[in-house]
Amino acid sequence: DTDAEQALLLYAENGFFTECYALFLERSEYISLETASRLASLMAYSGTVDPALYPLSIRLILSAVKSVDTPLSSDVLKNMYPRFYAEDISKACEKYELSEYLMYALVRSESLFDKNVVSHAGAIGLSQLMRPTAGDVARKLKVTEYDLTDAQTNAEFGAFYLKELTGRLEGSVMLSLFSYNAGITRVRSWVRNDSGLPIDLFLETVPYSETRDYGRKILSAAAFYGYLYYGMSTHDVVAMIMH
């Protein structure tokens, strides 16, 4: 639908992103992937002014690729797996010695880079931290006042918490990710009853379907980030997480 594509591009190029997104959803099956990727890029670029456009740009491109049966280009993949809030995430990862591709995967999976999102359970911001967890982190970091909708603060708290979980679980990144989602007490209980299964099989036997899906989602996202931005093979990323 060339008329719809032209209208979409005019909307996006002139900053009418709400109208653009609504029209895209209405006509998505008739919009080329090339145009959809261009729209996502324009939204992402404008996210520096309006951060609400960051998650919108990802949702748009994810919707666009659903019915595509051809290989996806690097540009499309980078729209699907962007590095928003790069400075904040990079600083947090450097401070707590975390791999950036892992932190990007966590933030994308948790919040789709929506710094203001609050879940039904009450988790807040990029890293989706619960208030009691954030309070505990703040106490350990000796921070008295903080705002979990601030990207820098949330990224730092999330990185600190993930690093702490990894240390408490003998360096297991996969178990720390499970704990981030389901709580360390549950994960330790599952480990006690796993009969010594390798970590990849353990992933498939986790009692909570939400946590199983979470583990797969993080693993996939981290592999893409490692491949797209850090010159790693997907095998290397998976091996690091499954260690």
Residues labelled as active-site residues: 110
Q: With DSSP H G I counted as helix, E B as strand and the rest as coil, what are the percentages for the chain, rounded to 5?
A: 70, 0, 30
> Could you say which DSSP state residue 230 is in?
S
- Rounded to 5 degrees, φ, ψ at 118 are -125, 125
Which contacts (CB < 8 Å, 24+ apart) does range 53-58 have? Answer: 53/17, 54/82, 54/84, 54/112, 54/113, 54/114, 55/111, 55/112, 55/113, 55/114, 55/117, 56/17, 56/21, 57/82, 58/82, 58/108, 58/112, 58/113
